């Protein structure tokens, strides 16, 4: 016989030949001996066979993470049985759903932005390149114009000669007769001053010098730029040593276009001057090409005005 499911206070029950009384204040059954004589404890019966383990069921889906309120404790603990008596059954354990997970905490503030010190500066630029070559010296002033002719005025007329008068012969005592009168001096007449000679013009020169030994054929790279608008009127050239076996032939180019070919013949130091009109402005340039021959210190002069 089992305990009643809905006992009342003071109710008795006999379970396994043992009397119990229910207390509503403690919600428990207590051993009750009133009017009942407890017999001797019987021998312990043999243990029954172990029941088989059932197959493990499939895992159900994970429930929502919500912790429910704690369920009520199991039923009241049965009264302590007499020594050797059976232990009352354990009440069933209540279970509730798992409580929900709390919200995620807010993100902390961003740390301060700290800029490290500036690194040292990189090295300066590379070394300074070599100084370019110095151009040739510009022309000096032109030659002095010729002196005007020295013109002397015509000589004035010569005065006439006075009469020659011979005094009487002196006596034997060697007496000199008186000197005749001196003729008068003719007038000093200065002729008119001759005209002043024409003033010579100031010619200027461009010097294009090839230093050392220059042998043709050679293309000239150094340029002469006109410093202002000018007109070249004459070209001449000379060398430090005359050519011995072949003529020296060179060209002058304006803006890479030849304006003439010129020759210094063997055994000569200079060439025959060439009259030629070449106009230049500040954007024009001249170069010299050696065509043939070998020159020592070739110097080219370009006269301009």
Query: Would you say residue 299 lies in a domain?
Result: yes
State the CATH number of the domain containing residue 246. 2.60.120.40
The one-digit pLDDT tens for each residue of the chain (305 residues) are: 688 888 999 999 888 888 889 999 998 988 887 644 444 545 666 766 765 666 776 776 765 665 556 545 555 655 654 554 454 455 454 444 554 555 665 665 665 665 656 656 545 555 655 554 544 554 555 555 566 666 565 666 665 665 565 556 555 556 566 777 777 776 777 778 868 756 555 678 999 988 888 888 988 867 899 999 999 999 999 999 998 889 999 999 999 999 999 999 999 999 999 999 999 999 999 999 999 999 889 999 999 98
* Residue 11 resides in a domain: yes
For residue 208, is it within any domain?
A: yes
Q: Is 290 a domain residue?
A: yes
Domain-embedded: residue 9: yes
Give a yes or no: residue 139 inside a domain. Answer: no
- In terms of residue numbers, what domain contains 15? 1-37+75-87
Maximum Cα interatomic distance, the chain, rounded to a whole number of Å = 242
Contact 237, 298 (CB under 8 A): yes
Final residue of a domain: which of 52, 87, 122? Answer: 87
Residue 140 belongs to some domain of the structure:
no
Do 305 and 231 touch, CB atoms closer than 8 A? yes
Total domains, the chain: 2
3-state secondary structure the chain: CCCCCCCCCCCEEEECCEEEEEECCCCEEEECCCCCCCCCCCCCCCCCCCCCCCCCCCCCCCCCCCECCCCCCCCCCCCCCCCCCCCCCCCCCCCCCECCCCCCCCCCCCCCCCCCCCCCCCCCCCCCCCCCCCCCCCCCCCCCCCCCCCCCCCECCCCCCCCCCCCCCCCCCCCCCCCCCCCCCCCCCECCCCCCCCCCCCCEEEEEEEEEEEECCECCCCCEECCCCEEEEEEEEECCECCCCCCEEEEEEECCEEEEEEEECCCCCECCCEEEEEEECCCCEEEEEEEECEEEEEEEEEEEC
Residue 297, domain member (yes or no): yes
């Amino acid at each position: 016989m089992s305990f009643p499911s809905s006992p009342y206070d003071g109710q008795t029950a006999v379970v396994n030949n043992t009397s119990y009384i229910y207390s509503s204040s403690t919600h428990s059954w207590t051993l009750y001996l009133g009017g009942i004589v407890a017999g001797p404890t019987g021998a312990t019966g043999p243990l029954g066979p172990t029941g088989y383990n059932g197959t493990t069921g499939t895992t159900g889906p994970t429930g929502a993470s919500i912790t429910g309120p704690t369920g009520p404790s199991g039923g009241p603990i049965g009264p302590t049985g007499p020594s050797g008596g059976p232990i009352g059954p354990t009440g069933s354990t209540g279970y509730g759903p798992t409580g929900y997970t709390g919200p995620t905490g807010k993100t902390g503030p961003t740390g301060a932005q700290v800029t490290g010190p500036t690194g040292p500066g990189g090295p300066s630029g590379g070394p300074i390149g070599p100084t370019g070559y110095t151009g040739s010296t510009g022309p000096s002033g032109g030659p002095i114009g010729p002196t005007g002719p020295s013109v002397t005025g015509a000589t004035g007329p010569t005065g006439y000669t006075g009469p020659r008068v011979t005094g009487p012969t002196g006596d034997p005592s060697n007496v000199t007769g008186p000197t005749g009168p001196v003729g008068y001096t003719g007038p000093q007449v200065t002729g008119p001053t001759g005209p002043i000679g024409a003033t010579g013009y100031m010619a200027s020169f461009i010097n294009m010098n090839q230093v050392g030994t220059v042998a043709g054929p050679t293309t000239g790279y150094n340029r002469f730029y006109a410093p202002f608008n000018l007109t070249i009127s004459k070209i001449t050239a000379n060398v430090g040593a005359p050519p011995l076996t072949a003529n020296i032939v060179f060209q002058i180019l304006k803006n890479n276009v030849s304006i003439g070919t010129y020759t210094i013949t063997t055994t000569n130091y200079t060439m025959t001057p060439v009259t030629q009109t070449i106009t230049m402005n500040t954007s024009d340039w001249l170069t010299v090409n050696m065509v043939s021959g070998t020159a020592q210190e070739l110097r080219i002069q370009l006269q301009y005005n």
